[in-house]
Amino acid sequence: MLWVKGHKKLVIILSLVLVVALVLAIALPVGLANKDNGTYYAYSFEQFNENEYYKLDGGKWTNASGEKGTYEISGDKITIYQEIFGSNMKLASGTLKDGILTLSIGGAEMKYAMKGAVHVHEYEEWTVVTPSMCMRQGTEQGKCKCGETKTRSLPLAEHKPKNEWGMDEEQHWQICSVCGQAINKKAHTFGEDFCSLCGLPAKETTGLEFREDGDGYIVTGLGSATGPIIRIPAQYDGLPVTSIGNKAFYNCDGLTSITIPDSVISIGEEAFSSCGKLTSVTIGSGVTSIGERAFRDCSNLTSVHITDLSAWCRIDFAECSASPLLYAHHLFLDGTEVTKVTFSADITEIKDYVFRGGSALTSVVIGQNVTSIGNNAFRRCSALTDVIIGRDVTLIKEEAFYECSVLKNITYQGTVDEWLAIEKEKKWDRDTVNYTVTCTDGTVSKYGTVTRK
């Protein structure tokens, strides 16, 4: 007691040290347990994906799919467990350091990060470096607040067309006054007497062979007709021309352009097969069926021209080479290339092969009345990025979107469960990127990961 009284100040200091140590002894484990708590979002290419994450909280985790389990941390090492059939099974392992979670899952390494743990470049203050011209793309440079810069291309400047038209029997064009290129190339839009744009007189081909069939005529062959450009007449000998017969123009290697009038209802098997120099096809709005191999080996086709998109969507193509689009890749409606398609309300099914090979198609809207999407309907639509699908669809047939290599977004106008219930035949989405299906109550990834709102 005498020693205590004599060392009163020292006793007070020691007591304070003991109190602080006790507080630290209690608080430090809690801090260690909680320092890594938070939400770690999938992170790649300097971007966060908020639809995919792990949330850590005091030894327990949940993810975006609603799964959950436990985890253990030792230094920078982390091991994630999930209860499966009553057993605590190891799901993944990796590292956790400075707000960055790196996991090895099924042999693949995935990176997750807390917001604020990594810097995401935000490029602003874009400055033109090289101006665009009609024959050369320009560039511009953006700068992030951290000092990082990024250069990107600018679109080509618009051509400046001269007023006059150049033309041949198949198409017309204008000349750019700056670069001298032929621009705005389009097939002629013929009225009864002349092209409505360039004024070229219309001229139907004479000398073709016909066979009478009921109340109309079938074109059966080239006959004495000459020249590379064929315009089939709508009438012959006072009756409508209703069909193009099987092999009617088979192996006509001098044929470069064919125009089929609205009066024609059907195109027969191999009608234009092996027409190796055929480059342009105009199909009237009356055609409802095209037979097998009708355009097989027409490998130089570059354009298909129509005047009625709904009529095109109703054509029954017997197989892939029944469609000229297989080789041409470019569909033109009244002279303008089709890049976006919205199916009209009276369309109830998307026909097989209808847009197979359409390389300029970027977006498709499939209405509420459609119940099925056909076999190969959009195969190799290499520019297709966005598709909207109505909730009445119950069947997506084989290879419907096969090789749509940049398809990123599918918007389905129904629920997640309704999307999962749709019958999808084999390879319907083969060779596509990792697209996301956005439903009214959540999302579904290409590989089946469901995230509900």
Can you give the pLDDT at residue 398? 96
From the candidate CATH numbers 3.40.50.300, 3.30.479.30, 3.80.10.10, 1.10.8.50, the one assigned to the domain spanning 339-453 = 3.80.10.10
278, 253 contact by CB (below 8 A) = no
DSSP single-letter state for residue 33:
H
Is residue 170 predicted with pLDDT exceeding 80?
no
Contact 155/128 with Cβ under 8 angstroms? Answer: no
The mean pLDDT value of the chain amounts to 88
| Lookup: tokens for 97 | 């350091």
- Listed residue (49, 176, 186) closest to 111, CA to CA: 49
CA 117 to each of CA 41, 96, 102, 122: distance values in angstroms, whole numbers, following the listed order: 11, 12, 13, 15
CA–CA gap between residue 244 and residue 231 (Å, rounded): 12
204-337 has which fold? Answer: 3.80.10
Confidence at residue 191, expressed as pLDDT on a 0 to 100 scale: 64
- Can you give the pLDDT at residue 15? 54
**34: helix, strand or coil:** helix
Question: 235 vs 45, which has greater pLDDT?
Answer: 235
pLDDT of residue 23: 43
Q: Where are the beta strands (DSSP E) in 154-206?
A: 166-167, 171-175, 182-187
Residue-wise pLDDT for 16-47, tens only, equals 545 444 444 444 343 334 578 999 999 887 78
| pTM for the model | 0.61
Asked whether the predicted pLDDT for residue 7 surpasses 80, the reply is no
Quote the pLDDT of residue 16.
53
Q: Distance between CA 188 and CA 414 in Å, rounded?
A: 43
Q: What are residue 174's DSSP bridge partners? A: 183
If one compares 157 and 293, the residue with the highest pLDDT of the two is 293
Question: 170 or 21: whose pLDDT is higher?
Answer: 170
| Residue 37, both tokens | 């708590």
Q: Strand 372-373's sheet: what is its strand order?
A: 349-350, 372-373, 395-396, 423-424
Give kind and range of the element (H or E) at residue 434: none
Q: Which two tokens stand for residue 373?
A: 């999407």
Report the Cα–Cα distance between both ends of the chain, in Å, rounded.
70
Residues 6+ apart with CB under 8 A from 380: 356, 357, 359, 402, 403, 404
pLDDT at position 33: 43
pLDDT at residue 287 is higher than 90: yes
364, amino acid identity: V
Report the C-alpha gap between 358 and 29 in whole angstroms.
Answer: 63
